[in-house]
Amino acid sequence: MIHVDIKQLARFHRVGHRITGDPRKGSSPGAGYEKVHVAVDDATRLSYVEVLADECQATSAFGPLATQKLAHLMGC
């Protein structure tokens, strides 16, 4: 079984407040988000990851493509 998931991660333009120590300097307004598409084989824990700009219909074909790429990596 292959698990397919999408995780939304925020982009940033500069280092955050944990590095600078000043919470006023750590924001990145308008930087946006990137979508990380992940496919993991349940038996072997082999994974395939792609960072894409969105999760619209054109990129929603990630599931079948990731399955093919995982099968190729596993030698099937």
- Average pLDDT per 10 consecutive residues for the chain, totaling 76 residues: 84 76 72 84 83 72 70 73
**Domain layout of the chain by residue ranges:** 2-74
CB under 8 Å to 53, separation ≥6 — which residues?
Answer: 34, 35, 59
Q: What is the pTM of this model?
A: 0.63
Question: Cα separation of 26 and 38, whole Å?
Answer: 28
DSSP codes joined into one string, the chain: -EEEEEEEEE--SS--HHHHS-GGG---TT--EEEEEEEEETTT--EEEEEES--STTGGGHHHHHHHHHHHHHT-
pLDDT in tens, 32-47: 888 888 888 888 888 8
